[in-house]
Copies of this chain bind each other. A is one copy, B any other.
């Protein structure tokens, strides 16, 4: 377990949304220059180290977050203390949307790989979306995207044998990328994503390596044999 770093201390500064390098893929994609002038409250930007927590389940937050780079896991806990990872949040994703409907955060959001986020105060998003049907629309889109993702995790990652689940997870990690390269998560996290034990995750990855479905090109960089992984994912 890595120590928790308070991310308040990690504030990097104010974001320049108008000239944001991710502008076209971000919540504010459709805003015009004059809209940004309404942004009196500055958008803060943070860099969070692996192992730190962006927010906790149950917290009453007033900010949602756009991820500029890195990876977060959204975790829920069962009464017996076991954890389940319900989603991954990656570059250009938004997390913490729920606070716009007044709910507390529904998960622990924990950094897996060093992550840069922009914090968007609910108040700012609400004001802007009042005037901007496009932003409103984009909010709905984001919600639907999260829902599709949740359904896919259930259908693809929590159904079938351990081998199938691991294969599907790996394939999912390289979708929408040219590279068939990716780095893997700790086996414990894999287990928590797939609803299997750490040992089973480890055994499965080890077997994939032996079958060359997976080749470690450099430390924690894996090249995937996508066609054969597809085969493994289906039967």
Q: Which residue of B lies closest to A153 (CB)?
A: B154
Contact indicator A86/B144 (Cβ below 8 Å): no
Could you list 9 examples of A-B contacts with CB < 8 Å?
A78-B156, A80-B234, A101-B140, A130-B133, A139-B140, A140-B143, A143-B143, A147-B150, A150-B150
Whether, in the assembled complex, A63 has its beta carbon less than 8 Å from a beta carbon of chain B, the answer is: no
- A154 in complex: contacting residue of B97, B136, B143, B154, CB < 8 Å: B154
Whether, in the assembled complex, A146 has its beta carbon less than 8 Å from a beta carbon of chain B, the answer is: yes
Contact indicator A78/B159 (Cβ below 8 Å): yes
Whether, in the assembled complex, A42 has its beta carbon less than 8 Å from a beta carbon of chain B, the answer is: no
Q: In the complex, what distance in Å separates the CA atom of A235 from the CA atom of B150?
A: 26
Per-position binary interface string of chain A over residues 94-116, scored 1 when its CB falls under 8 Å from any chain B CB and 0 otherwise: 00011011010011000000000
User: Interface residue tally of chain A, by bracket?
Assistant: 35 or more
Contact indicator B76/A151 (Cβ below 8 Å): yes
Query: What does DSSP make chain A's interface, helix, strand, loop or mixed?
Result: helix
A205-219 with Cβ < 8 A to chain B: none
Contact indicator B143/A86 (Cβ below 8 Å): no
Whether, in the assembled complex, A84 has its beta carbon less than 8 Å from a beta carbon of chain B, the answer is: yes
A103 contact set on B, CB distance < 8 A:
144
A109-165 with Cβ < 8 A to chain B: 130, 133, 136-137, 139-141, 143-144, 146-148, 150-151, 153-156, 158-160
Whether, in the assembled complex, A79 has its beta carbon less than 8 Å from a beta carbon of chain B, the answer is: yes
A74-98 with Cβ < 8 A to chain B: 76, 78-80, 82, 84, 86-87, 97-98
Contact indicator A106/B158 (Cβ below 8 Å): no
Per-position binary interface string of chain A over residues 164-182, scored 1 when its CB falls under 8 Å from any chain B CB and 0 otherwise: 0000000000000000000
